[in-house]
Amino acid sequence: MSSGLKDNQVLALMGMGREALSKELQQKKRAENNQLKRACLEELQHEASEDAWYNLKLLRTLLGGFYIADTNNDGRLETSELLKTLKNKDEESYQVMRNFVEACDVGKDQKLNLAEFFILGVLRGFRKVEQAGASDS
């Protein structure tokens, strides 16, 4: 080698680089998980009204829909996977779905995991509809 490094030194440096990269990725993942956990716990702390009851069949359908829409089976819904589930394929429907993903996507990776989809999407959506109905009364 022209740099004067021996093969075992190069391998050691490469190993150190991989280890440093692995640690950095783990730290980023932990930070994202902490941010998601904080956002979910914050949403779950909102009080539901005493007369708020959710239809179990609807909740099961929404949870099942998550897994059906996850066509690449990575446990996360990409915007494109959600868009494929739309019955109305007009621009307004696409924009509503894009806004939904943007509002729920804590990790800002344009994918929703189950917590982002269900807690920050579905439950937050129910709460906002409930609040809007209460303010109309």
Band of pLDDT at residue 45, cut at 50, 70 and 90: confident
Question: What are the pLDDT digits (tens) for 53-77?
Answer: 778 888 899 999 999 999 999 999 9
The rounded mean pLDDT for the chain is: 85
**Residue 128: which pLDDT band, with cuts at 50, 70 and 90?**
confident
Q: What is the pLDDT of residue 121?
A: 92
- Residues 128 and 103: beta-carbon distance below 8 Å: no
String of DSSP letters for 105-126:
-TT-SSEE-HHIIIIIIIIHHH
